[in-house]
Amino acid sequence: MAIENNNVVTLNYILHTIEENGEKTFVEQTTTENPLTFLYGVGMMLPKFEENISGLAEGGKISFDLTAADAYGEKDDKAIAQLPADMFKETGLPPVGEVLPLQDNQGNQFRAVVVEVTPEAVIADLNHPMAGKTLSFEIEILNIRPATEEELSHGHAHGADGTEAH
């Protein structure tokens, strides 16, 4: 079976970023015990990621790079928020480098990285941590199966075998 829309795909990947000088920096990798499983073709993954693995079969391997424009976009220097320090009176001011879970007025959840802390404010970078970076993937397809009706109605995979962990 080859990967196509409405398939549940289970794969392993190794992810590096490629620096401007061409050097690769390791970011993360999955394991056979904890692979990535997702519903293909419903917008869960980066479009160019899906495009690169389209048509692969179980056991298939591919390596590819995604430019920042095809991944998480270029870094926006204006995507900085000044959060009032009193927002953190219960938890204490976060350290520089901490990732903050935030939510906008529409209920969308996202993460911001603390770049500066003053007595008055916490300055957070709202860019995706991978914004502005070229991503380099090594992929191995472990399993492909048709999505169940329940998965299709929910819009996401329920694990490699189709059963959602509770």
Which candidate, 1, 73, 9, places its Cα nearest to that of 41? 9
Residue 142 has pLDDT above 60, yes or no: yes
Mean pLDDT, rounded, for 129-139 = 95
Q: What pLDDT score does 166 carry?
A: 44
Q: What pLDDT score does 159 carry?
A: 81
pLDDT grade, residue 160 (50/70/90)? confident
Q: pLDDT per residue over 3-23, tens digit each?
A: 999 999 999 999 999 988 999
Q: What pLDDT score does 165 carry?
A: 55
pLDDT grade, residue 54 (50/70/90)? very high
CB environment 146-166: b (16+ within 10 A), e (fewer): ebeeebeeeeebbeeeeeeee
Residue 49 backbone dihedrals phi, psi, to 5 degrees: -65, -50
* Residue indicated by tokens 């992929």: 139
Q: What pLDDT score does 46 carry?
A: 95
Of 22-26, 148-152, 156-160, the least confident: 156-160
- DSSP per-residue string spanning the chain: -B--TTEEEEEEEEEEEE-TTS-EEEEEE-BTTB-EEEETTSSSS-HHHHHHHTT-BTT-EEEEEE-GGGTT----TT-EEEEEGGGGTTT-PPPTTPEEEEE-TT--EEEEEEEEE-SSEEEEE-S-TTTT-EEEEEEEEEEEEEPPHHHHHHTS---TTS----
pTM: predicted TM-score of the whole model, two decimal places = 0.80
Residue 111 has pLDDT above 90, yes or no: no
Residue 73 has pLDDT above 70, yes or no: yes
Mean pLDDT, rounded, for 129-136 = 93
| Per-residue tokens: 67 | 């430019």
- Taken in order of first residue, the domains within the chain and their CATH numbers are 7-72+131-154 (3.10.50.40), 80-125 (2.40.10.330)
pLDDT grade, residue 47 (50/70/90)? very high
